[in-house]
Structure 1
Amino acid sequence: MMHLDRYLSAIFLKWLLITVFAMTTLLGVLDALGNADLLPAGAGFVGQMRYMVLRLPMLFDRILLFALLLSLLLSYSTLIRRNELVPLANAGLSVFAQIRALLPAVILASAVSALFIDQVSPVAHRALERWLGAGVLRDDSRTPETLWLSDARRLVEVEGLVGDTITGVTLYERGDKGRIAAVTRAASASPLPDGWALEDVSQIRFDGSPPKPPLTWQSPQTPETLRLLMAAPRDLALGDLYRLSRMTGSGSQPASAYLVWLFNRLSLPFAATGLLLLAVPLMQRFGRRENSDLALAGGAAIGFVFMVADGVLKTMAEKGTISAVAAVVLPVLALIALGLTLALRRRTLR
């Protein structure tokens, strides 16, 4: 039985490597071609390859679950085409026995992938920001165009961050009754040990006092903290997601936007288990080759519906419409329930 477990796991891992390589390469090429105008002048082929390599961890995060599902479906399609599923039936390997055989490999692959995303994606994201600027990576329409901060009696708007320099800083000073007393605009700001040095400053006052444009903005914010606040939550490390979810008064994203992606990354092994429960009973086919092809297409369609529903719930959670826990747990529970239902109907191979 151990030989069968290793055999099934080897087929799955082989297809996972092939699927991930094919999907990330294709998406990487399309992404590099579509964003070629964002690269510096004269970047050429080397610049495009650098962009592709730095984007690959983020693209891998986007395709991981679908790649896991396709790999499971293709693994069983391989068994069917080799006429190896019938010997498994003769050996008495039930649906749940097959799930049990593949479960360690699926959990290991998803856990290692989650660790890779958590450790590598933020590093690649920061490298892209330092190279091209923070605004270039706003490929998600849900990411705010500007960053808003609450700083004592001021509201601060930051348009962008290039290297360690802020571009487009606006300070809104509030009076005693909360009304805006003055608006200070600076074209840019460079970091100081205890704040930021404002450059090209102008001020408009609404309290009757003469304008006194400040030359510095005293703030605990650093270039690194601003990069985190301006980044899409999905591209941050688990530690940063947790810290930002606990912060108040900083950033344009609600705490739920960070919590939903924190829980999403932690739930990857459970989602992968749900995909395994779905794929194995779907691919129990012993007839003609067309049957396996139809089952593969049906499994991919169910996976696509799951991804869409999962994305909708996460969008709602990012806006605070539903809780982050519900947005992550409900799709996974629905997937596991569907998989268990199908597995119980095909409890033994026929």
Structure 2
Amino acid sequence: MGNNVMMKILGWMLNRMVAIRFFGILFGISFFVLSLDVLTNAKDLQALRPNDMTILLQYMLYRAPSVLVNYMGISMLLAMLLSLTELSYRNEMAAMWAAGVSPARIIIMLLPLAFVAGGLNFVLSDSAIPATTPQLRDWGIGDYGAEKLKLGEKDPIWMRAGPDILRAGSANGDSTRLNDVIIFRRDDQGLLREQIYAKSAALDEGRWTLTKVLVYYRDNLQPSRLDTLVYSGNMKPAQAGARSGAPEDMALTELFYFMDNQGFGIRPVWVYETWANKRISLFFSGLLMMGLCIPLATRFRRGGGLGALFAVGVGIGFVYFIVDGISLTMGELGFVKPWLAAWLPILAFGSLAVVMTLRSETV
């Protein structure tokens, strides 16, 4: 009983120690980056609301979720290395090894913090970023200037009915009135057989009435001009907040919706499959950083070579982030399977962490 109580106290102390450093580093780096961002774009922000300084704070709050997500992995890595170097410097790590606390046991003790960090990463990516991105795109400031989309009735919108894809230049709020319509009619193999242009379209009792229609056919047949044309396909619209088709700004439910509808013709379906798998893998990002760092501490258990410990840990971490970025890009381009692109870095470096942990058990 006494040993169990001691392990619980030790686990709580380790979680507290790493958590303080993790959140301190995360919020410190994020605040610094956000401050530079606001200062850089202050003139453009003030032009949106002259004499209203609150827009600077609002912009910072809207940008915060994406910045926090970007630096969460490196913050956990640095927090673990700082904690381990401090414990090694005070010979507390050696005392834990002597007491029979193995690296695997330490990783198990830190599981609560690992899943809190992973859950926070997921929530920010899946809820906060999709909620704030429309406003940032509307402002068109900084990174969003080149891809500004005014969300509302002037949005381009994509729809799908079976193999057919529809694009409208603008739509009303509930997507029942469309303007500048193009319908790409495809056969079962996905090959284009007709291309329909219409000035407008209106939904009435499940059928679309197109006006001022021009129809182009496959095999260079003579195009047709019609005043009206009825289209009976059951069109499913892309949600208003996701009309840009940018998967990194979508919630998981929106990613699944785009996957079910073949990406609405905006991007290939495998792009959304890759990001859906990537979103789920975020739960394990914090645990992976812990699994990589803790076995390294066994090599420096008597307080020596702490600089080497920190350097090796940072090196392994940055290699992981590089591989992770390359793998995600490969998945978006369709060079590898979506699940493999999202999970390969986790599986590869997780396997490395397991091997390192098993080897350290003999210490």
Q: With the length of structure 1 as denominator, give the TM-score of the two structures.
A: 0.76
Q: Which moved more, 1:262-271 or 1:316-325?
A: 262-271
Amino acid at match of 2:73: L
Q: Does 1:9 align with 2:48?
A: no
Query: What is the deviation of 1:98?
Result: 1.6
Q: Does the CA contact (< 8 Å) of 1:173 and 1:182 recur in 2?
A: yes
SS at match of 1:93: coil
CA RMSD of superposed structures (Å): 4.3
Q: With the length of structure 2 as denominator, give the TM-score of the two structures.
A: 0.74
Amino acid at match of 1:345: R
Residue 61 of structure 1 is matched in structure 2 by 69
Q: Does 1:23 align with 2:29?
A: yes
Q: Distance in 1 between matches of 2:33 and 2:358?
A: 37
Q: 1:315 aligned to 322, 329, 334, which one?
A: 329
Residue 276 of structure 1 is matched in structure 2 by 290
Amino acid at match of 1:115: V
Q: Does 1:114 align with 2:114?
A: no
Q: Does the CA contact (< 8 Å) of 2:157 and 2:169 recur in 1?
A: yes
Label 1:331 to 1:137 Cα distance change in 2 as closer, same or farther (>3 A). Answer: farther
Q: Does 1:245 align with 2:259?
A: yes
Query: What is the deviation of 1:81?
Result: 3.5
Q: Which moved more, 1:60-69 or 1:3-12?
A: 60-69
Q: Does the CA contact (< 8 Å) of 1:275 and 1:335 recur in 2?
A: no
Label 1:348 to 1:251 Cα distance change in 2 as closer, same or farther (>3 A). Answer: same
Amino acid at match of 2:20: K
Amino acid at match of 2:287: T
What CA deviation, in whole Å up to 9, does each residue of 1:252-276 have, x standing for no partner?
1222222222222222233332222
Q: Does 1:300 align with 2:300?
A: no
Alignment of structure 1 residues 256-271 onto 2, 5 Å: 256-271=270-285
Q: 2:356 aligned to 337, 342, 348, which one?
A: 342
Label 1:67 to 1:78 Cα distance change in 2 as closer, same or farther (>3 A). Answer: same
Query: What is the deviation of 1:18?
Result: 0.6
Residue 83 of structure 2 is matched in structure 1 by 75
SS at match of 2:239: helix
Q: Which moved more, 1:37-46 or 1:241-250?
A: 37-46
Q: Does the CA contact (< 8 Å) of 2:91 and 2:302 recur in 1?
A: no
Label 1:193 to 1:288 Cα distance change in 2 as closer, same or farther (>3 A). Answer: farther
Amino acid at match of 2:242: L
What CA deviation, in whole Å up to 9, does each residue of 1:88-116 have, x standing for no partner?
23322222222222123212321243234
Residue 182 of structure 2 is matched in structure 1 by 171
Label 1:213 to 1:266 Cα distance change in 2 as closer, same or farther (>3 A). Answer: same
Label 1:102 to 1:209 Cα distance change in 2 as closer, same or farther (>3 A). Answer: closer
What CA deviation, in whole Å up to 9, does each residue of 1:201-250 have, x standing for no partner?
99988757668699xxx99566x714313142122212111121111361
Q: Distance in 2 between matches of 1:87 and 1:175?
A: 69
Residue 143 of structure 1 is matched in structure 2 by none
Q: Distance in 1 between matches of 2:11 and 2:163?
A: 63
Q: Distance in 2 between matches of 1:236 and 1:73?
A: 33
Alignment of structure 1 residues 122-201 onto 2, 5 Å: 122-132=130-140, 136=144, 157=167, 169=180, 171=182
Residue 101 of structure 1 is matched in structure 2 by 109
Q: Which moved more, 1:314-323 or 1:7-16?
A: 314-323
Amino acid at match of 2:64: L
What CA deviation, in whole Å up to 9, does each residue of 1:24-80 have, x standing for no partner?
212223333455565361536422221111011122222222222222112212223
Q: Distance in 1 between matches of 2:140 and 2:172?
A: 8
SS at match of 1:171: strand
Q: Does the CA contact (< 8 Å) of 1:151 and 1:249 recur in 2?
A: no
Label 1:90 to 1:32 Cα distance change in 2 as closer, same or farther (>3 A). Answer: same
Give the percent of matched residue pairs that are identical in Structure 1 and Structure 2: 26
Label 1:318 to 1:175 Cα distance change in 2 as closer, same or farther (>3 A). Answer: closer
Query: What is the deviation of 1:19?
Result: 1.5
Query: What is the deviation of 1:156?
Result: 5.1
Query: What is the deviation of 1:16?
Result: 1.2
Q: Does 1:92 align with 2:103?
A: no
Residue 48 of structure 1 is matched in structure 2 by 56
Q: Distance in 2 between matches of 1:242 and 1:307?
A: 26
Q: Does the CA contact (< 8 Å) of 2:214 and 2:223 recur in 1?
A: no
SS at match of 1:57: helix
Q: How many residues align?
A: 336
Amino acid at match of 1:98: I
